[in-house]
Amino acid sequence: MHNEFYWNTSDQTKIYTQDWTNHKPIKGVVVLVHGLGEHSNRYQHVAEFFTGAGFSMIGMDLRGHGKSGGQRGHFPSFDILMDDIKQFLEITSNRYPSLPVFLYGHSLGANLVLCYTAKRQPKLAGVIATGLAITFAVPPAKLLIGKITYNLHPTMSLSNGLDRSGLSRDQKVVDAYNNDPLVHDRISARLGIDLIQSGPWLESHKMDLKLPLLVMQGSMDRLVNSRATQAFAQSLTSNVTFKLWEGFYHELHNEPEKQEVLTFILNWMNNHLD
């Protein structure tokens, strides 16, 4: 069963949300936070996999993305995003009371869910982060522009410069991304600098990551530094599982071997149910 609905954030931004469930007894709920420039509907096959295995999945389009309101590719601040995620989790708890909740973030979403976990200390069954970015290779000129406009003109946006060919080894995934009208390439000065700073912030607050974590990365991910992510994950003292997928690109859930990836996540969640 598939449901679509909207809700308003604390600053009255309209957020598009969809959830997938089935009529079997539900073991838990996967709460999705997607990546930069994309939207929740790109994860429909992920939702179908999890619902077929006894979980429900709920995903929102981040503000400035997909069918949600807000300037494309702009967040007023990471703290406001933390509030959005908190509200989203409250909505999830109301829809699925008393069920274990797993917070699943990809790429930008991975940075967001780990920052949220460290800052807000939520009560969750576990957190899943794929395509996490700890360090960023940003052209110096673009970085300088971002720093100058961060406070002076935070909504000024540029192309995110995403190497779309590095999303997946499946060309059909890349073609679908390129032809998707809900995908955009915008990133604002405020979001860009906040995202860059989130990696070092996570490094300095790693002791606050206390929930069970699953961190996964493709070894051939050209969009983020997989070695930096691996070093970060292996330095954590929490209950962390790190999985490096040899030869895989950025979107692990969209690789030709996606069934193996999703099965690995499923098994990890089953092992962390209350």
Residues acting as catalytic residues:
107, 221, 250
Quick count: other Cβ atoms within 10 Å of Cβ 40? 26
Residue 4 corresponds to which tokens in the numbers above?
């679509």
- Select from 81, 75, 71, 113 the least CA-distant residue to 190: 75
Quick count: other Cβ atoms within 10 Å of Cβ 253? 20
DSSP secondary structure letter of residue 68: S
Contacts of residue 147, defined as CB under 8 A and 6 or more positions apart, other chains included, come to: 193
Write the DSSP string, 138-184: --HHHHHHHHHHHHHSTT-EEE----GGGS-S-HHHHHHHHT-TT--
Residue 146 corresponds to which tokens in the numbers above?
């971002």
Strand partners, 5: 17
Range list of β-strands (E), the chain: 2-8, 14-20, 28-33, 55-60, 101-106, 126-130, 157-159, 186-188, 213-218, 240-245
